[in-house]
């Protein structure tokens, strides 16, 4: 019976999402429609699409698990996520304006236009696609946990991974067919379930924990401490992870494209106004529930399973609802990741010299299908290596943030040129990757700075120095002035 | 004049939030063992940012038009 409740709810969830998508489907071969849904969505859709892309299912697993195991340091996701929303407000006008004026569809397209360089465009696309892929595999793995818990012991964890992958592979048919419009519309349904229902469940968990003698007073003093002087991680570790998360936010291709799907720049700003309180409320209650649960013996033994262990105290229906929250967040994220990989690889790598809308859309669809298959193979091969893969995914963050100087300085400052941007990105990536292998977590000799931050500093210095030393070219100055006008 | 003032306030808001969230002496000082202090920092800084968005919205000349 429990099995039927769990898997029945999964079925009902998918039927609901597919029904809503089919109702709003617009058949089209236009690449703008496929990539940015014709820039047609209002602020509520934008808000939910942003949240569903920004907060993947692993928020309930790895991020909640870190908070349950280590305490307040896990709240760093709240800080950098809110800074990302704040940045959305400041980026909205210029990014949307350039995007609409020049029919830009991707982040690489955007930096390519800013620097008038195919090289910069291809480098940005490669960094983006390579950095995203581990997160895609991780997303498929998250599904395994959901399908394992909701089978109530009827299906082994290994088999549950395959079931989850098979179900999502079927779901991907709609992503390949419907492109961005289908993604944004399904994000609305999935977002309400993941963060609305997830937030309500978190409040219930907090009440349950406090009433069952698992209040704040039961947490150890270490739970209220950040790594400081004399610690293994170093005093700048927290600063580094928040800085990397915040600056890296708009470097993720799947996040950046959210700035292009809106109706107007004002829509983007309005979605930032709406996203901030929703994100704050959801993350505050979910992380607090996870931290309080850290004093439970079973959670302390398996912190990554905190969300499911808490829900299991409420019986099969509550556990199933909790699983659906994770599923809703995971599906939205996987859709956004595959779409971003497909569009970037098709337009900014394979068709960088141009092509018909029909050809680029077809290439994007093929790449999405191939990437999905590769990620499924990756997930199957690494079923029991979640921790190692998470390390790889976090390392990818150190790489993606190397787009930040070219992106942000390119928006704020007219001086940077293509050579400076390309050289800065290459130096940043090389430094970050090298240091990441030597110091996977933080660099003790630098007070706990991470590889990504050191790469970022080198990247920025190179970009600024090369920009300042490059001789000014009249035609390029005029082109950039026209872009900024 | 009004637009310049709004731009200055918006820049001030960005810098203030970056300082609150990122300046190490603030978070290291607040999160050094006392749970009420640590939560005040994390939830308080988050709330300040949310309220900042409200201020930014009030500065926005275009209002809610999309």
Could you report the per-residue pLDDT of A191-223, keeping only the tens digit for each? 999 999 999 999 999 999 999 999 999 999 999
Could you report the per-residue pLDDT of A106-117, keeping only the tens digit for each? 899 999 999 999
From the CA of A176, how many Å to the nearest CA of chain B? 29
- Nearest-CA neighbor of A307 among A125, A175, A146, A177? A146
Predicted confidence band of residue A29 (pLDDT cuts 50, 70, 90) = low
pLDDT (average), residues A344-351: 92
Cβ separation B24–A72 shorter than 8 A: no
Lowest mean pLDDT among A142-146, A237-241, A466-470: A142-146
- Tokens matching residue B34: 């006392």
Q: Is A221 on the interface with B (CB under 8 A)?
A: yes
Cβ separation B42–A85 shorter than 8 A: no
- Model-level pTM? 0.93
Task: Say what the pLDDT of residue A148 is.
Answer: 84
Q: Is A78 on the interface with B (CB under 8 A)?
A: yes
- CB of A164 within 8 A of CB of A327? no
Task: Say what the pLDDT of residue B46 is.
Answer: 98
- Nearest-CA neighbor of A326 among A194, A141, A187? A194
Cβ separation B31–A224 shorter than 8 A: yes
- Set of chain A residues whose Cβ sits within 8 Å of the Cβ of B27: 226, 238-239
- CB of A290 within 8 A of CB of A74? yes
- Set of chain B residues whose Cβ sits within 8 Å of the Cβ of A216: 35
Which chain A residue lies closest to B21 (C-alpha atoms)? A79
Task: Say what the pLDDT of residue A124 is.
Answer: 93
Which chain B residue lies closest to A229 (C-alpha atoms)? B28
Pick the more confident residue, A235 or B59. Answer: A235
Instruction: Report d(CA B16, CA A12) in Å as an integer.
Output: 46
Point out the residue among A79, A90, A235 whose CB comes nearest to the CB of B46.
A79
Instruction: Report d(CA A334, CA A135) in Å as an integer.
Output: 8
Where b means 16+ CB within 10 Å and e means fewer, A65-97 reads: bbbbbbbbbbbbbbbbbbbbbbbbbbbbebbbe
Instruction: Report d(CA A75, CA A57) in Å as an integer.
Output: 16
DSSP classification of residue A441: S
Instruction: Report d(CA A186, CA A206) in Å as an integer.
Output: 29
Structural domains in chain A?
A: 2-19+38-238+262-395 (1.20.1730.10)
Q: Please tell me whether residue A449 adopts helix, strand or coil conformation.
A: strand
Residue A425, pLDDT above cutoff 60: yes
Cβ separation A86–B34 shorter than 8 A: no
Distances (CA, A) of A167 to A10, A13, A407, B8: 10, 12, 37, 51
Q: Please tell me whether residue A215 adopts helix, strand or coil conformation.
A: coil
- CB of A268 within 8 A of CB of A85? no
- Nearest-CA neighbor of A6 among A319, A299, A266? A319
Cβ separation A266–B50 shorter than 8 A: no
pLDDT (average), residues A130-143: 84
- CB of A158 within 8 A of CB of A381? no
pLDDT (average), residues A440-450: 94
Task: Say what the pLDDT of residue A369 is.
Answer: 86
Task: Say what the pLDDT of residue A261 is.
Answer: 80
From the CA of A427, how many Å to the nearest CA of chain B? 25
Instruction: Report d(CA A421, CA A122) in Å as an integer.
Output: 12
Residue A469, pLDDT above cutoff 90: yes
Pick the more confident residue, B42 or A30. Answer: B42
From the CA of A229, how many Å to the nearest CA of chain B? 9
Task: Say what the pLDDT of residue A306 is.
Answer: 94
Show Cβ contacts of residue A448 under 8 Å, excluding neighbours closer than 6 positions: A227, A231, A233, A234, A235, A236, A237, A238, A239, A240, A442
pLDDT (average), residues B18-31: 97
Predicted confidence band of residue A375 (pLDDT cuts 50, 70, 90) = confident
Residue A389, pLDDT above cutoff 60: no
Residue A447, pLDDT above cutoff 90: yes
Where b means 16+ CB within 10 Å and e means fewer, A420-434 reads: bbbbbbebbbebbbe
Residue A40, pLDDT above cutoff 80: no
Task: Say what the pLDDT of residue A405 is.
Answer: 97
Cβ separation A242–B21 shorter than 8 A: yes
Q: Mean pLDDT score of chain A, rounded to an integer?
A: 89
Pick the more confident residue, A379 or B28. Answer: B28
Task: Say what the pLDDT of residue A18 is.
Answer: 86
- Tokens matching residue A479: 């082109």
- Set of chain B residues whose Cβ sits within 8 Å of the Cβ of A246: 21-22
DSSP classification of residue A232: S
DSSP string for A408-433: IIHHH-S---HHHHHHHHHHHHHHHH
Q: Is B19 on the interface with A (CB under 8 A)?
A: no
- Nearest-CA neighbor of A295 among A221, A214, A224, A217? A214
Lowest mean pLDDT among A18-22, A246-250, A387-391, A424-428: A387-391
Distances (CA, A) of A464 to A404, A415, A456, A457: 13, 9, 12, 11
Pick the more confident residue, A77 or A154. Answer: A77
pLDDT (average), residues B38-46: 97
From the CA of A251, how many Å to the nearest CA of chain B? 18
Point out the residue among A90, A219, A225 whose CB comes nearest to the CB of B14.
A90
pLDDT (average), residues A317-335: 91
- Nearest-CA neighbor of A335 among A68, A57, A125? A57
Q: Facing residues of A449 across strands?
A: A443
Instruction: Report d(CA A457, CA A424) in Å as an integer.
Output: 10
Q: At what angle do helices A76-101 and B35-59 cross, to 10 degrees?
A: 20
Lowest mean pLDDT among A74-78, A140-144, A461-465: A140-144
- Torsion, CA A484, CA B5, CA B7, CA B12, rounded to 10: 150
pLDDT > 90: percent of chain A: 60
If one counts every other C-beta atom within 10 angstroms of the C-beta of residue A35, the result is 29
The backbone torsions φ and ψ at residue B15, rounded to the nearest 5 degrees and listed phi first, read -65, -45
Handedness of CA A310, A311, A315, A319 (dihedral sign): negative
- Set of chain A residues whose Cβ sits within 8 Å of the Cβ of B46: 78-79, 82, 280, 283-284
Pick the more confident residue, A300 or A20. Answer: A300
Task: Say what the pLDDT of residue A187 is.
Answer: 86
Predicted confidence band of residue A397 (pLDDT cuts 50, 70, 90) = confident
Task: Say what the pLDDT of residue A217 is.
Answer: 94
Instruction: Report d(CA A187, CA A194) in Å as an integer.
Output: 10
Task: Say what the pLDDT of residue A287 is.
Answer: 98
Cβ separation A277–B50 shorter than 8 A: yes
Instruction: Report d(CA A69, CA A64) in Å as an integer.
Output: 9
Which ipTM value was assigned to this complex?
0.96
Predicted confidence band of residue A260 (pLDDT cuts 50, 70, 90) = confident
């Amino acid at each position: 019976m429990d099995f039927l409740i769990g898997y029945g709810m999964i079925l009902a969830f998918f039927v609901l999402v597919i029904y809503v998508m089919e109702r709003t489907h617009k058949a089209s071969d236009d690449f703008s429609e496929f990539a940015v849904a014709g820039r047609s969505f209002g602020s509520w859709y934008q808000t939910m699409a942003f949240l569903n892309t920004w907060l993947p299912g692993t928020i309930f697993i790895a991020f909640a698990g870190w908070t349950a195991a280590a305490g307040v340091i896990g709240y760093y996701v709240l800080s950098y996520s809110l800074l990302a929303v704040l940045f959305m407000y400041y980026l909205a006008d210029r990014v949307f304006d350039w995007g609409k004026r020049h029919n830009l569809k991707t982040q690489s397209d955007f930096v390519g236009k800013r620097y008038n360089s195919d090289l910069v465009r291809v480098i940005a696309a490669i960094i983006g696609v390579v950095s995203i892929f581990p997160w895609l595999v991780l997303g498929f793995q998250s599904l395994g946990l959901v399908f394992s818990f909701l089978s109530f012991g009827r299906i082994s964890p290994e088999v549950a991974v395959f079931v989850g992958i098979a179900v999502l592979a079927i779901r991907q048919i709609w992503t390949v067919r419907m492109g961005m419009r289908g993604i944004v519309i399904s994000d609305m349904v999935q977002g309400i379930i993941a963060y609305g229902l997830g937030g309500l469940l978190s409040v219930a968990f907090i009440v349950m924990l406090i009433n069952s003698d698992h209040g704040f007073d039961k947490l150890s003093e270490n739970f209220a401490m950040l790594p400081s002087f004399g610690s293994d991680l170093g005093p700048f570790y927290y600063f580094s992870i928040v800085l990397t998360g915040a600056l890296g936010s708009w470097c993720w291709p799947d996040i950046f494209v959210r700035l292009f799907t809106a109706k107007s720049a004002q829509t983007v700003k309005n979605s930032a106004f709406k996203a901030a309180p929703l994100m704050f409320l959801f993350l505050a209650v979910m992380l607090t529930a996870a931290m309080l649960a850290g004093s439970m013996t079973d959670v302390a033994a398996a912190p990554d399973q905190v969300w499911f262990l808490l829900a299991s105290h409420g019986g099969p229906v509550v556990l199933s609802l909790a699983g659906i929250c994770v599923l809703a967040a995971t599906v939205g994220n996987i859709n956004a990741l595959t779409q971003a990989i497909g569009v970037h690889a098709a337009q900014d790598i394979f068709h960088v010299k141009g092509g018909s809308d029909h050809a680029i859309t077809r290439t994007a669809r093929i790449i999405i299908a191939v990437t999905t298959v590769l990620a499924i193979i990756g997930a199957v091969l690494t079923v029991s290596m979640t921790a190692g893969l998470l390390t790889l995914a976090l390392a990818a963050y150190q790489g993606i943030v190397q787009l930040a100087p070219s992106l942000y300085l390119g928006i704020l400052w007219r001086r940077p040129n293509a050579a400076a941007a390309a050289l800065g990105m290459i130096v940043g990536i090389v430094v970050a990757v090298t240091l990441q292998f030597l110091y996977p977590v933080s660099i003790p000799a630098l007070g706990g700075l991470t590889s990504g931050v050191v790469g970022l500093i080198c990247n920025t210095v190179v970009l600024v120095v090369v920009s300042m030393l490059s001789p000014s070219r009249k035609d390029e100055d005029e082109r950039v002035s026209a872009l900024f006008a | 004049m009004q637009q310049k003032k709004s731009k200055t306030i918006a820049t001030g808001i960005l810098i203030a939030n970056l300082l609150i969230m990122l300046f190490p002496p603030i978070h290291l000082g607040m999160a050094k063992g006392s749970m009420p202090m640590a939560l005040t920092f994390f939830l308080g800084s988050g709330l300040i940012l949310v309220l900042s968005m409200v201020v930014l919205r009030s500065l926005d000349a275009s209002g809610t038009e999309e």
